[in-house]
């Protein structure tokens, strides 16, 4: 029984921590470009150079976190249902 309580406590801490992170910092770095806004490529000598603009984040380098996206969708649905 104590193992179950420990697992529930850990799950609660992780969930509340992620909810707090989404509330404080709703945007995270883009996973495709690693937060720089464009892909990096190499030339024939192997040196890094700037590549194409990132299509996923539209060159901002940021993306909305999944938890914040779900919260925004829930608030939008709730607001539309109470009007």
Residue 53 C-beta-side C-alpha neighbours within 13 Å: 6
CB atoms within 10 A of CB 29: 13
- 8-state DSSP, 11: H
What pLDDT, on the 0 to 100 scale, is given for residue 69?
93
51: pLDDT confidence band, cut at 50, 70 and 90? confident
Phi-psi region of 48 (alpha: psi -120 to 50; beta: other; left: phi over 0): beta
Phi, psi of 58 (to 5 degrees): 55, 45
Nearest Cα to Cα of residue 48 among 28, 68, 62, 34: 34
Radius of gyration of the chain (CA): 19
**Does the pLDDT of residue 8 top 90, yes or no?**
yes
Name the pTM for this structure: 0.68
């Amino acid at each position: 029984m104590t193992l179950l309580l420990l697992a529930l406590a850990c799950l609660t801490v992780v969930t509340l921590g992620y909810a707090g992170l989404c509330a404080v910092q709703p945007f995270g770095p883009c996973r495709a470009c690693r937060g720089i806004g464009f892909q990096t490529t190499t030339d024939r000598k192997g040196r890094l150079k700037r590549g194409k603009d990132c299509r996923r984040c539209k060159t901002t380098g940021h993306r909305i976190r999944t938890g914040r996206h779900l919260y925004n969708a829930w608030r939008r649905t709730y607001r539309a249902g109470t009007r």
